[in-house]
Every structure is written in structure tokens, then in C-alpha cells.
Structure 1
Amino acid sequence: MKILPLKQDKISARELFTPITAIALAGLAIVVSLVADYYWLMILRDALVFGIFALSLDYLWGRTGLLSFGHATFFGIGAYAVAILSTNFDVSNITVLGLIAGIGAAGLVALLFGYFLLFAGVRGPYFTIMTLALTVISHHIVIAWVEVTGGDSGITGVQPLSLSLGSFEFVVTAPQTGVYIALVLLLVLLLALWRVANSRYGRLLKALEVNELRARTLGYNTPLHLVGTFMVSAMIAALAGGLYASFAGYVAPDLIGLLLSTKVIVWVAVGGRGTLIGPVIGAVLVMQIERELSSINTSLWPLFIGAFFIAMVFLFPNGLAGLAQNLSARLTRKKNKGGAEHA
């Protein structure tokens, strides 16, 4: 069967919102890192890492419509891979090797899990439920496998991210350096995924969400593309988990639990699903709100976060980035209309 090519349109001003906003926010993060104290540098560093995590879910959920309720599994795989290797082996570049091992392991789990589900036709809420089960199983494994994972206590003493090449050795100990590393990785990944999303392949992924059956009738192997997207998303999440473990110096079962899987969904929804930059903003914003509210009342802050999420869904269903895109598009149309009338 002849495969019809997807139409490749020029990149619109609305689509340029993501890279322009990303570069502007990166500049803002650099300015903040120059004036912030040690405590706020750690907060900014962790926020950027979790921004990478939110970006990973948005690439899957926002491009294909597949909602993973178990994305913390892949974040935890990356974190525990770095922690286990760096605390048991004293060799050079062990944290980098841990990062690579975690990314590879997460990709393999996503490949196996996605193959048996997606090639079997599991979609929609059934896929979400199965990913939820994946997180529950992973969390129980981490708690039960005390000899390797430390059980409920987790693993402490994780080595910082380091790279050795001959006589050259680079060790990330200062939080400001961690901010720059996380920022560079986040910016590179975001721009790369944005480029993919606005390519012919990105339009194919979007077509799978709109009408997978039609894409299949055109000759596309839709389960294969879905599995590939799931793998890429899982590997990015594992990268974020490995970075967090090396920066924080410890891992705990919470990093692979249901709560974190729920949080990342909230970040993506608040920021704007499918916008790529929105989930990053959502992660930073919601984390900061949580931090401020928990300092006021440690028992009531989850209720405030829940109320905030509900309000966002009703008032801004497309998220903050979606709202900003709509406002920008309206201003552009109004300006063009005014210019035409004046002409």
C-alpha cells in the first residue's frame, strides 16, 4: 500500500512560542543563579531536573494521547541505577556509567512493557491502568529488595556527577554548576523535541492521537511508532532521575512511587499538555506553591494543591502555556487586522 506523506507546513508564529519562551526563561534562570544563595540554587536545580521529568511525560501524553500513570517508574530506575552503581563501585566515571545504565534499563522496560501492551491494542484508560500497576509493582520491589535498594531507608552517599578524561576531572559539587548542567540538558531536550513535534514525524504522532485507525490504513505501523515514543519518553525520565540522585546524594522509594507519578501529571496539566514548555513551567510553579504552603501548614497543603488543580482545569483547561499562546495569537490577529484596515 502506498504511504501518503504527511503535509509539512511552515512553522507558524504560534509554534515559535515554545523556543522563544524557552530561551527567555533560560536567560532568566541564569540571572537568578548569579544572585541566589545556596538554598535557592538547590531549589532551582531540582526544579530544572523535575522540568526534564515533566517534559518526558508531555512528549508521550501530549504527542500521542497516551497517559502514563507510572512515569515515576522510569524516573526511579534512573535514580536507583546511579545510586546502586556509585555506592558499590569505586571507579572513575561511575555516575556517568550509572546514568547510561539507568537510561538503557528504562528504555528496555518501556520497550518490553510497550510491546506487549501497544501491539496488543491496549489504549486509552486501559493503558493508563496498566502503567499504574507498573508503578505499584516497582515500588514494592524497591521496598522488598533491601539488600540492593536499601528498602524504606533508601540509599545515601550517592556520588556526585563526575567525568574523568585522562588528567582532566570534572566533579559537580556546587549547586550552581548543577543548575547549569540541568539547564543545558533541559534546553537541548526541549528544542530537540520541539523540532521533532513540528516535523513530518511529529505530525504523524499527532495523527495517532486524532485517528490511529486512519493512520494505520495509510500504511503506518502505528504500534511501532507508539512504542518508540514511549521508549524515548521513558529514557528522558530516567535521565532526570539519574541527575536528581547524583545532585541530591540520596534516593528513596518515593522517587519511584505513585505520588510522584501523580505529581508529574499535575505539572503537565497545569502547564499545558502538548506545549512542551508548559509542563516545565508547571513543574516549577506547582513545586514552589507546594513548598510555600507546606511551610505554612504541613497537613493542609495537599488540599490547597488539589483545589488549585481543579480551578486550573475549569478556568484554563489548556494550561498556562495554552492560555499564553491563545493570548499571543489574539494580539497578533488584532494587530494584523488593524494594519490591514489602516492600509
Structure 2
Amino acid sequence: MKHRGRLVALAAGTCVLSIYPAFADEYHLTVLRDALLFGLFAVSLDFFWGSTGILSFGHATFFGLGGYVMTLVTMTSGLPAPSVLGLFAAVGAPAALAAIVGYFLLFGGVRGSFFTIVTLALSVIAQQLVISWSSVTGGDTGLLGVPPLALGGYEISGAMATYIVVAVTLIVVLLALRALEQSRWGKILIAIGDNEVRAAALGHNAPARLTLTFVISAAVAGFAGGLYVAIAGVVAPDLIGLLLSTEVIVWVAIGGRGTLLGPVVGAVLVQRAQQEISSMNPSLWPLILGCTFVIIVFVAPDGVMSIAERSRMLLRRRSA
């Protein structure tokens, strides 16, 4: 019943995304597009955190790395199909980094808060490296003039075209990751998260499965980062820093960890609220975000996606 409800929610969300351009102007279409891109990034974290129960506190490292790699490839002259090569590189570089980190940490038995602390340090190191290597990364100011996305010889620019690309990409990724979670692979991951020793006793190679899940998560984050800089036209150290790593955790927690669709809802809600509140009083936003996070933890610890399900169960009990 829970899985069917999530499929219904995904179908409803797809319908909303389909009809939204008919009612929104260019500005609001751009705002939602950027929020959906960050939602794709949040989905990548939820795929690893929600499936395994292990929190990666430096996930912006993969998002920002994908963005910088995409920028460097597309700004290199003489390459055939630079956008396609850039997206492949934006996926491959974070995946390779996650494979190295996962090999030393996950195969080394690092779990729980220790894994979280190490990945947090990874994000800090990555941001300092980007700022220091100014000859390549542009330092504090980043790199401007990133070429727009071009696929099949056609340049994809403008609010409507980029919105369609982002929305379709997000839906495809959500369906693919959901299918993977519902497969035998996902069930084994849940078993590993519940009791890794027991899963290993049943013959499952827990470190290998955790590492591969971490690699897939990093690859999706890198793809989101590459797509973001191609549409925004700029890449900066903020995309790889600790602040974004913290924000994505908040998006996942508010939306609902382990739901895949919830982090998208959380990212859209938080981004929209941030713009509205910051336009009135910029200093008020961090306070409101912190209070909202605390309230969500107490009222709906499983995120806003669980509120509808709890309400439905309560109505059933009352009707019974």
C-alpha cells in the first residue's frame, strides 16, 4: 500500500510538472527548474542514505566536482560534442572518487558517525582545493561563461527548453532508482542496513554493495551538478562546499528520507520559502529554517511525505 501511494504521488507530481508551464511566467519557470535540479541532487543523497542508513555529509563534493568537470570539458575548444563528453565526465569523475573513498572507508569497516565525519572533511578539503587552484578553477569567483547545453547539434537554452530537460531527467532518474530499490538489490541493501553481520553471514558482500550504491549516488549527484552549471552558465566554490552539503541533508530530512520523491518536495519547498522570506528579511531565513527543521523532526520525523500517509491511516481508524 505504501509503494502504491508513492507511485500515485509520483504520477501526480508528473502531471503538475506537465501543466505548470501553461500557467507560470518565465521567472517562476526558471525558479522551479533550479529547485528541481537541486531536488535531483537531493535524490542522489537519499538513494544512499535512505537505502543504507549511512549519512554522507560531504555529498556536495560530488555535485560540485561534476559541475567543475563539466565546465572544464565544455570550455575546452576542439572537442566533438563537448556537452555530451562533459556530462559523461561529470558522471565519471564523481563516481571514480566515490569508488576510491568507498573502497578505503566501507571496505575498511568505517560506518555510522565515523563515515559521516570523514565525508564532511572531504567536502571541506574539496572546497579549499578549488579555491586554492585558481589557475584552473577560477578561485573564489569561479568560472563564468559556461557554454549552454547542446545535444544533437541543437543548443538547449531558454526557460521552457531547459525546464523540460530538467523535468524529464528528474522523472527518468526517479523511476530508475525506484526500480533499483524495489529489486532484489534494494532489498539486500535494506537487510545490510538493518544488520550487516547477519547479511554477511547469509553470503552477501556488504562492503561491495555499499560501495557500489555510494558510487551510483555520487554519479547521479555529479550529473545533477554538470546539468546545473550548463544551465546556470557559472560554477563557483559554493557548489562544492559544506553549506550545500548541509542544505541537501535538510532537504532530504524535511521531504522524507527513503522515499526518493520526498527530497524533491523538500528541495522545492525550502528553495521557494527561502526566496520569499529572504526577499523580505535576509537575516530571518536561517532562523526560520532551523525552527522548521526542529518542528518537522518532532511532528513528522519521517518527513512531509509521511503526513498524508498518517492522515489516511487516522481516517481509516476513525471510520472503522
Q: TM-score range by the shorter chain?
A: over 0.9
Contact persistence 1:45–1:182 (CA under 8 A):
yes
- In the alignment, which residue of structure 2 is the partner of 1:307? 291
Cα offset, 1:332, TM superposition: 5.8
Cα offset, 1:334, TM superposition: 6.6
Deviations 1:275-325 (A, max 9, x none): 111111000001111111110111221111111111111111110112223
SS for the counterpart of 1:162 is strand
| Larger mean Cα displacement after TM superposition, 198-207 or 88-97 | 88-97
Cα offset, 1:176, TM superposition: 1.1
Cα offset, 1:38, TM superposition: 1.5
Q: Which of these residues, 29, 37, 41, is aligned with residue 49 of structure 1? A: 37
- In the alignment, which residue of structure 1 is the partner of 2:231? 247
Number of equivalences? 320
Structure 2 CA distance for partners of 1:207 and 1:30, relative to 1, 3 Å: same
Identity of aligned residues (%): 49
Contact persistence 1:118–1:227 (CA under 8 A):
yes
Contact persistence 1:18–1:194 (CA under 8 A):
no
Does residue 95 of structure 2 align to residue 107 of structure 1?
yes
Does residue 106 of structure 2 align to residue 122 of structure 1?
no
| Letter of the 1:189 counterpart | V
| Letter of the 1:281 counterpart | V
- Give the structure with higher Rg (CA): 1
- In the alignment, which residue of structure 1 is the partner of 2:144? 156
Runs of 4+ with >6 A deviation: none
Deviations 1:156-191 (A, max 9, x none): 100111013xxxx22111111111111111111111
Cα offset, 1:329, TM superposition: 4.3
Cα offset, 1:211, TM superposition: 0.6
Q: Which of these residues, 68, 77, 86, is aligned with residue 56 of structure 2? A: 68
- In the alignment, which residue of structure 1 is the partner of 2:198? 214
| Letter of the 1:79 counterpart | G
- In the alignment, which residue of structure 2 is the partner of 1:40? 28
Distance 1:180 1:329 in 2: 36
The unaligned stretches of length 5 or more in structure 1 are: 1-12, 338-343
- In the alignment, which residue of structure 2 is the partner of 1:317? 301
Cα offset, 1:34, TM superposition: 2.1
- In the alignment, which residue of structure 2 is the partner of 1:58? 46
Deviations 1:219-245 (A, max 9, x none): 110000000000000000001101100
- In the alignment, which residue of structure 2 is the partner of 1:236? 220
Does residue 165 of structure 2 align to residue 177 of structure 1?
no
- In the alignment, which residue of structure 2 is the partner of 1:82? 70
Distance 1:329 1:15 in 2: 15
Pairwise CA RMSD: 1.4
Q: TM-score, normalised to structure 1's length?
A: 0.90
Distance 2:312 2:261 in 1: 15
SS for the counterpart of 2:151 is strand
Deviations 1:59-95 (A, max 9, x none): 0000000100000000001111111122232544212
Deviations 1:101-154 (A, max 9, x none): 011000000000000000010000000000001000100110001111000010
